[in-house]
Structure 1
Amino acid sequence: MVATLTSRQFYFLTVITYSMTRFLNRIVFAAACLLLVLASPAFSQSIPKKSFLVCGDSKVLLVDYTKSRDSIPEIIWSWDAHQAMDLPEHFRTKLFNTMDDCKAVRGGRQLLVSSSSGAIALLNMKDKKVLFHASVPNAHSIELLPGDLIAAAASVQPAGNKLMLFSLKQPDKPLYTDSLYSAHGVVWNAKRQSLFALGYDVLREYKIVSGNGLKMVAKWTIPGIGGHELQPAGASGDLFVTEHHGTWLFSLATQQFAKIPGFPDAENVKSLGRDASGQYIYTIPEESWWTYHVKFHEPARKFAFPDMHVYKARWFGNGL
């Protein structure tokens, strides 16, 4: 005789299976992090060509895309602001609790990070030494400019809603600020020698003036509200822009916004990038502003980070 399950039994079996799967994923993730801590801190290995950064909570992770299996990420490097003893205590325990941007710079030797809890920093990849830190209200993005300058987007907050410019030689002392409501993204275009900044409903272009200031030279109204992500879209210098209701490609040649060919458009895309092969990396919130997954398109793939409130993910090689 073949036993059959009642609908109630089937429901409980489904719940138990889901819970066990999530529990096992957490164990694997924790084990990977433990092995990473036990590994040599010298970061002597070469960084895999196809790797990506993930940021959320107080952490930034570097993942080897090729060696990752199924939905389990192969974490090869990490930085936790709560363990960065070269940060002042207030920064370490209060201002880096919600990491929201991470960008590799200077050939991958250094890393820019920002936190909506109120801070930005520049650190070495190899020894994890913090080289620069500054207070930025509701920081949402950070960019390295020529002349040892750093730009930061300060989003909605009584002391925020502005673009800020710092010098690495003068930590926590802005050289320049400009009002920009809900500032969310900053990207430097080396070919054009311009800084692009994204706000609530506008994209702006700035030039460096006098070595320690910025001058706005152009602006465009974006096709939506709630500008969020701003990232380079390849060698052309074109830009990916996301807002509350969709994703866009901004052409510098035509100065027009268009839908991204082949990309599965969605609301509230928090991060979006594309590597040289044409594969997209992106994040979409599952709960409030965070997700437990990093997604890919062309080809499609998804990695789980069950113990992390992931905000953004970036190809490591973009912008180097």
Structure 2
Amino acid sequence: MKFLKTITFIVFLLSVNTIYAQQILKKGFLVACGDDKLFIIDPAKSNDNHTEIVWSWEVKNSEGLPKEYIPLLKSLDDCKPVMNNKKILVTSSSGATIIVNIGNKKVEFYAMTPMAHSADILPKNRIVVANSTHKDGNSIELYDLLKNEKVLFRDTLYSGHGVVWNAKENLLYVLGYKHLKSYELIDWKTENPSLKLVNSWEIPDNSGHDLSRIDDENFLISTHNSVFLFNSKIKSFTPFDLLKDRKDVKSLNYSHKTNSLVYTIAEESWWTENIYMVNPMKTIKLPGLKLYKVRKAI
């Protein structure tokens, strides 16, 4: 009887831990990355004097990651919540892309990706990565979540900085130095999938930096000198009023329903220690961290 009670208690603890793990990254929480660290932040409990960190992860303490990847993850630059907010898709400009399971903090995918700046999940658990200016970069690369390090497809993209999948259109949008492009999925049910270029648009300013999705047909693009709204239905770029003419915006997260905005700006060379919010208006600080991008769980 005592043995059965012990087993029952262990099962109970495991179920509680599973539930807790699923709740770590709630809708509206922020994922921030910089240096070799990831953080999940509760913005509602954060203010100018306090940052409510509910979860953190550091490369050197990770499980499931080959040791040779540690120096390739010293400068994390994008960290997207994926798979129902249970995992984080991470890129590093030092040369790698990984997926971290939030619940157990283990690395579940890894690949060497030169000067990686952004990534996204595509159907059938495939991963697309945008690589920036590097002798082996300037590209988008396609991977399978279950096949570490194996490139399935590659296309050129000068100064790749953004990738966003839009399920409504069944199109992938990618951002480079001077162009926004869209791709369709080809041979997706086979072992040899690829991407086919559908459209390419010249953006209104040089140095395309961040690409984020607002809804089924609206996207935000940051450049060196400003931020623009792109509408995929009418294929147009217009200034984004909340950050019009704002230079060096590194990441953007906007909800048109609440008119709320979360963003980062390069304030010390390419990095910052601050996360800025609009509606509600506040600044969240991560002192001592070379923060690059922040993403909002939806």
TM-score by length of 2: 0.89
3-state DSSP class of the match of 2:68? helix
Inter-CA distance 45–224: structure 2 relative to 1 (3 Å threshold): closer
* CA–CA separation in structure 2 for the residues paired with 1:44 and 1:160: 35
Matches within 5 A, 1:157-176: 157-176=134-153
Radius of gyration: which is bigger?
Answer: 1
- Indicate yes or no: 2:101 matched with 1:124: yes
Q: 1:180-195 counterparts in 2 under 5 A?
A: 180-195=157-172
In the other structure, the counterpart of 2:37 is 59
Given that 1:263 and 1:297 are in contact with CA atoms closer than 8 Å, whether structure 2 keeps it comes out as no
Q: Is the 8 A contact 1:142 1:186 kept in 2?
A: yes
- Structure 2 residue identity aligned to 1:55: C
1:262 aligns with 2:239: no
Q: CA deviation at 1:286?
A: 1.3
Runs of 4+, deviation exceeding 6 Å: none
* Count of residues in correspondence between the two structures: 276
Q: 1:298 corresponds to which letter in structure 2?
A: N
Distance in 1 of aligned mates of 2:26 and 2:157:
37
Matched, 1:309 2:286: no
Distance (Å, rounded) in 1 between the aligned partners of 2:78 and 2:26: 21
TM-fit CA distance, 1:46: 5.0
Match of 2:275 among 264, 270, 294: 294
Counterpart selection for 1:284 from 236, 260, 265: 265
How far has the Cα of 1:237 moved from its partner?
2.9
Matched residue of 1:262: which SS? helix
8 A Cα contact 2:32 2:39, kept in partner: yes
Task: State yes or no: 1:71 paired with 2:52.
Answer: no
- Aligned amino acid, residue 82 of structure 2: V
Percent identical among aligned pairs is: 37
Residue 263 of structure 1 deviates from its aligned partner by 3.4
Q: 1:199 — aligned with what?
A: 176
Contact 1:71 1:302 in 2 (8 A): no
2:28 alignment counterpart: 50
For residues 182 and 296 of structure 1, what CA distance do their matches in structure 2 show?
Answer: 28
Output the TM-score relative to the length of structure 1. 0.83
Q: CA deviation at 1:307?
A: 1.6
Superposition pairs for residues 10-89 of structure 1, below 5 Å? 43=21, 45-89=23-67
Tell me how far apart the structure 2 counterparts of residues 159 and 306 of structure 1 sit (CA, whole Å).
33
Per-residue deviation at 1:44?
Answer: 6.0
Match of 1:239 in 2: 219
Equivalent residue for 1:8?
Answer: none
The residue number in structure 2 matching 1:10 is none
Q: After superposition, what is the alpha-carbon deviation per residue over 1:176-197, rounded to whole angstroms, capped at 9, x for unaligned?
A: 1001100000000010011100
Instruction: For 1:76 and 1:51, locate their aligned partners in 2 and report how far apart those are by CA, in whole Å.
Output: 9
For residue 152 of structure 1, report the CA deviation from its aligned partner: 0.1
Q: Which secondary structure does the structure 1 equivalent of 2:27 belong to?
A: coil
Match for 2:116 among 127, 139, 147?
139
Task: Say yes or no: does 1:95 pair with 2:65.
Answer: no
Contact 2:24 2:55 in 1 (8 A): no
Aligned counterparts of 1:74 and 1:230: Cα–Cα separation in 2? 27
Contact 2:275 2:294 in 1 (8 A): yes
Task: Supply the AA of the counterpart residue of 2:143.
Answer: F
Query: Helix, strand or coil for the counterpart of 1:91?
Result: helix
The aligned residue for residue 252 of structure 2 is 272
What is the SS of the residue equivalent to 1:78?
strand
2-structure distance, mates of 1:103, 1:155: 18
Q: Distance in 2 between matches of 1:136 and 1:118?
A: 5
Equivalent-residue separation in structure 2 for 1:47 and 1:153 (angstroms): 25
Distance 1:68 1:216, change over 3 A: same
Rounded Cα–Cα distance in structure 2 between residues aligned with 1:265 and 1:224: 11
Cα root mean square deviation, aligned: 1.6
Amino acid at match of 1:312: K
Task: Describe the SS at the equivalent of 1:73.
Answer: coil
